[in-house]
Amino acid sequence: MTVATNPTGSQEREHPSAPLLRMERIPHVWCPSCGIGTVVKCYATALERSGVDLDKVSVVSGIGCSGRVAGYLKLDGFHTTHGRAIPFATGLKLGRPELLVTVISGDGDLVGIGGNHFIHAARRNIDLLVILINNFIYGMTGGQNAPTTPPGARSSTMPLGNFETPFSLPHLAASSGASYVARWTCLHIRRLTWSIEEAIGKRGFRFIEVIAPCPTLYARLNKLGSGLDAMRFYHDTAEIRNGADTREVDVEFQSPIICGKFVDEERPTFLDLMHDHYSKQLGDRYVPMPPEGGMLHER
Partner 1 sequence: MRYWRVPLDAGQVETPGGEVHILVDRCKGCAFCVEYCPRQVLEMSRTFNRKGYHPPEIVASGACVNCGLCEMICPEFAIFCIEAVSSAGNPNGVSTSVGAEAGEARR
Partner 2 sequence: MKADPAGVLTGSHYLDGDFACGEGAMAAGCRFVAGYPITPSTEVVERIARRFPTIGGTFIQMEDELASMAAVVGGAWTGSKTMTVTSGPGFSLMMENIGLAAMMETPCVVVNVQRGGPSTGLPTMVGQGDVMQARWGSHGDYEVIALSPQSPQEAFDLTIDAFNLAEIYRVPVMFLMDECVGHMTEKVVIPKAEAIDIEPRRLTRKKPEDFDPYQVSDNELPEFARAGDGYRFHTTGLTHDEHGYPVMSAKCQEVNVGRLVGKIRDNAESIVRFEEDGVEDADVVVVSYGITARVAKLAVEEARAQGLKVGFLRLVVIWPFPERRIRQIAGSVGAFVVPEINYGQIALEVERAAAGQAVTWPVHHAGGAVHSPDAITEIIVKAAV
Give the chain's end-to-end CA distance (angstroms, integer). Answer: 63
- Tell me if residue 201 falls in helix, strand or coil: coil
Stretch that binds partner 2, among 175-183, 220-228, 236-244, 290-298 (CB under 8 A): 290-298
Q: Which amino acid is at 200?
A: I
The closest alpha carbon to 44, from 13, 23, 65, 29, belongs to 23
- Give how far the C-alpha of residue 78 lies from the chain's centroid of Cα atoms, to the nearest Å: 14
Q: Which of partner 1, partner 2, none does 293 bind, CB closer than 5 to 8 A by kind?
A: partner 2
Does 29 interact with partner 1 (rule: CB under 8 A)? Answer: no
- From 41, 84, 188, 191, residue interacting with partner 2 (rule: CB under 8 A): 84
Q: Which is nearer to partner 1, 228 or 273 (CB)?
A: 228
Pairwise CA distance, residues 47 & 73, whole Å: 11
Does 88 interact with partner 2 (rule: CB under 8 A)? Answer: yes
Does 66 interact with partner 1 (rule: CB under 8 A)? Answer: no
Helix or strand holding residue 218 (H, E):
none
Does 19 interact with partner 1 (rule: CB under 8 A)? Answer: no
Contacts of 69 (CB under 8 A, 6+ apart): 36, 39, 40, 59, 61, 104, 105, 133
Stretch that binds partner 2, among 30-38, 66-74, 192-200, 258-266 (CB under 8 A): 66-74
* Interacting residues with partner 2 between 258 and 287 (CB under 8 A): 270, 274, 278, 281-282, 285-287
* Interacting residues with partner 1 between 200 and 239 (CB under 8 A): 226-228, 231-232
The closest alpha carbon to 85, from 61, 116, 112, belongs to 61
- Give how far the C-alpha of residue 225 lies from the chain's centroid of Cα atoms, to the nearest Å: 25
Dihedral angle at the C-alpha atoms of 288, 289, 292, 295, nearest 10 degrees? 160
Stretch that binds partner 2, among 39-47, 116-124, 148-156, 238-246 (CB under 8 A): 116-124
Helix or strand holding residue 228 (H, E):
helix 227-237
Q: Which is nearer to partner 2, 256 or 294 (CB)?
A: 294
Q: Which amino acid is at 216?
A: T
Q: Which is nearer to partner 1, 23 or 273 (CB)?
A: 23
Sign of the C-alpha dihedral computed for residues 187, 47, 91 and 267 taken in this order: negative
Sign of the C-alpha dihedral computed for residues 236, 238, 242 and 245 taken in this order: positive
* Interacting residues with partner 1 between 161 and 200 (CB under 8 A): 186-187, 189-190, 193
CB of 133 to partner 2, least distance (A): 18
Do residues 124 and 270 make contact, with C-beta atoms less than 8 angstroms apart?
yes
Does 22 interact with partner 2 (rule: CB under 8 A)? Answer: yes
Contacts to partner 1 by CB under 8 A: 1-9, 11, 13, 15-18, 21, 26-28, 30-38, 40-42, 45, 186-187, 189-190, 193, 226-228, 231-232
Contacts to partner 2 by CB under 8 A: 22, 25, 55-56, 58, 60, 70-71, 74-81, 83-84, 86-92, 94-96, 98-99, 116-117, 120, 270, 274, 278, 281-282, 285-290, 293-299
